[in-house]
Structures are given as C-alpha cells and as structure tokens.
Chain A
Amino acid sequence: ETGVTQTPRHLVMGMTNKKSLKCEQHLGHNAMYWYKQSAKKPLELMFVYSLEERVENNSVPSRFSPECPNSSHLFLHLHTLQPEDSALYLCASSSWIGKPQHFGDGTRLSIL
C-alpha cells in the first residue's frame, strides 16, 4: 500500500468532455504534486501544492485545472483535452516540499 490513492485508474474521454482525476493521501503530508508521464518522455512536473496553496505551475495549459481543497486531497480537472494529453498522470505527496515523495499508482488517461 503506497498511502497515496488515485482514482480512477483508467479514464477514456472525448475531447469535449469534462472529467476530474482524484488523489488522496493518508500519510499526513503537507505537499502534493501532479506529474505527467508520457510513453516516450520522462516525468514532467505539472503542479505543486504546499499547505493547500499552489506553489508551482510549470506552464501547464489552462485545460488542466488543479484543486487542493485540503492537505489530503488533490484534484486535476480536465476539459477540452487534446490527443497529446493522453498519458499517465501521477500524484505524489511529501511531508514538506523537498522531502521524499510518495507516488500513487497513476491514472492512465486516453483522449479519443
């Protein structure tokens, strides 16, 4: 058990749909992260939250919208996605920024 749970595990959606990815951590951590992992690219950091405040946004298109309602939950809201957005989306958490990260199993997203 990783302590970081992501749902759903798989998601297939059309380009006009709106969906959300959910991440929940039971580790008492204060920092949470969204990463994108494509088949042929290394991991890309998308967003970082610390104490529910966004501290980093790595030039991610606005069709990805994160939300961190509390320190245990992190969402990634998706709308009007493109085929190139198909990837594995990983959530991670750490006790504080700079501390070791614990990863969830990821959500595999396929855009039709």
Chain B
Amino acid sequence: AQKVTQAQTEISVVEKEDVTLDCVYETRDTTYYLFWYKQPPSGELVFLIRRNSFDEQNEISGRYSWNFQKSTSSFNFTITASQVVDSAVYFCALSEANRDDKIIFGKGTRLHILP
C-alpha cells in the first residue's frame, strides 16, 4: 500500500535558521511522482515541486532544496535562511505515474518561523 509519513507535526525555528522537513514514503510501484505543497494561512495549497522517481538528482530553487533518496524512500525539503513568510503547513504527497486516480498526502508539517 502507498503511504506518506511526515513525522514532524510542528516545527518552530528562529528566522534565518535552516530547517528540514522530513518525508518518508512507501510504495510498491517503480514509477511514481513525489510532490511538496505549501499551505499558507490563506488556505490554498501552493505547488512547490514534483519529482519523478527516476530522477534522483537533488534540486535547488532559491532558498528551497529537496533531497530525494530512493534507498531510504525519503524526499526531504530544506529551507535555507528561513523567513517569517515561510510559516505555513507543508504537505508531502505521492502519486503513481500516469494515473490520476490516487494521490496520497502526508498529514503535513506546520512550520513556525519566529522573528
């Protein structure tokens, strides 16, 4: 069965610190997509990244970086030099490639960036 685990329910860090959000997934599929979404206080989910299971290269986008490790079934998300505007709930998600009938979300990690 597919499963996404975000073990950190809530994290608080002081502004400018780096913070890593963990995501561990389970799937029997060989081809799948992994996602990270941000949910700011306004409520909507904001897409951050989608990663194909065949692409294990780490990705960096500004202050955001993602570490995909198939060997440990993890897709961790790091925010460098955090800012107050990064405060949000972050969701990790998993879906089977080329199938739109199933997407599994983790329970989310609430991130507080303290000024």
- Say how far A5's CB is from chain B's closest CB, in angstroms: 16
Task: Say whether B45 contacts A97, CB under 8 Å.
Answer: no
Task: Say whether B43 contacts A108, CB under 8 Å.
Answer: no
Looking at chain B, what size class is its interface with the partner chain?
A: 20 to 34
A40 and B35 alpha carbons, distance in the complex (Å):
12
What chain A residues lie within 8 Å of B102 (beta carbons)? 88, 106
Q: Can you name the residue of chain A whose Cβ is closest to the Cβ of B103?
A: A37
Where chain B touches its partner, the secondary structure class is loop
Task: Say whether A94 contacts B43, CB under 8 Å.
Answer: yes
**Which A positions have Cβ atoms within 8 angstroms of B?**
10, 31, 33, 35, 37-40, 42-43, 45, 48, 56, 86-88, 90, 94, 97-101, 103, 106, 108
Can you offer 26 A-B residue contacts whose CB atoms are under 8 A?
Answer: A31-B43, A33-B43, A35-B45, A38-B100, A39-B99, A39-B100, A42-B35, A42-B37, A43-B35, A43-B45, A43-B47, A43-B93, A45-B45, A86-B100, A88-B103, A97-B43, A98-B40, A98-B41, A98-B43, A100-B39, A100-B107, A101-B43, A101-B108, A106-B101, A106-B103, A108-B100
